[in-house]
Amino acid sequence: MKIQNLMEDIVSRATIYERHITHKEFFTDTSGTVEYTLNSLWHREQELSEFNNGFNLAVGCSHTFGIGIKNPWPSHLINTYNAGVPGATIFDMIDIAFAIYEEKRFNKLMLFAPHGERLIVFKDGKQEALMPYSKSYEDFKNIDLDTKMYYNSRSVNHLLSFCKINNIELQIFNYNSIGFLKKHKDLIVDKAADDVHYGEQTHKNFAGLFNVKRKDTI
């Protein structure tokens, strides 16, 4: 199963999973107020086998996974599988979408993208996501922004082609872009238990951005 192998690879280099000490402590959330239950693919979701072809797929990072909250935005949408991975890069998200599609066909893809500065870097033969808290951040932080954005944009172009060929409806939001923050600032109303990520009501508001029926409307 390709998605299983891919997730094992991502988890093996993701320091966040090393910090998953208990089901009530994850990444930046040590409040003990949220229980994190992961499926066999390390996703905060029912097993993929529970979904039929034609479902909706949500991919993203911790703002999709739902750090510090009980109900991340995908949980408010009908027939939606949450494949959010804390610390994920845009490359991880696209790889996850491709691998899941090989296993089970989805009709709609929702990508809640992080800032474009996240990259996959190699040090001492090991992969690592380049983020401020990553072990190799100081070694690679001076990679110029144009280079980072070039690789991100190429990856998104591949995703656009993939969705067009397979007749998949695609919606992308970059939650950290200036444009998004200006246009949707009224949706951001609270913070999560870790006081870093978005809160419960904000996630519920974010769910309304996507062209999928909300559970509270049926």
Whether residue 107 contacts residue 56, with contact meaning beta carbons closer than 8 Å, is answered with: yes
The four Cα atoms 205, 206, 210, 212 give a dihedral, to 10 degrees, of -60
Model confidence over 31-56: pLDDT tens digits? 889 988 889 998 999 999 999 999 99
Domain residues of the chain, as ranges? 2-217
Please report the pLDDT score of residue 19 as a whole number.
46
Kindly indicate the confidence band of residue 20, based on its pLDDT and cuts at 50, 70 and 90.
Answer: very low
Report the residue count for the chain.
218
Neighbours of 117 (CB within 10 A): 16
Model confidence over 68-102: pLDDT tens digits? 999 999 999 999 999 999 878 888 899 999 999 99
Q: What is the pTM of this model?
A: 0.87
Give yes or no for residue 152 having a pLDDT over 90.
no
**2-217 CATH fold:** Rossmann fold (3.40.50)
d(CA 120, CA 23): 27
How would you class 11 by CB atoms within 10 Å of its CB: exposed for 0-12, middle for 13-18, buried for 19 or more? middle
Closest to 128 (Cα-Cα) out of 114, 139, 115: 139
Q: What average pLDDT score do residues 102-110 get?
A: 97
Please report the pLDDT score of residue 21 as a whole number.
42
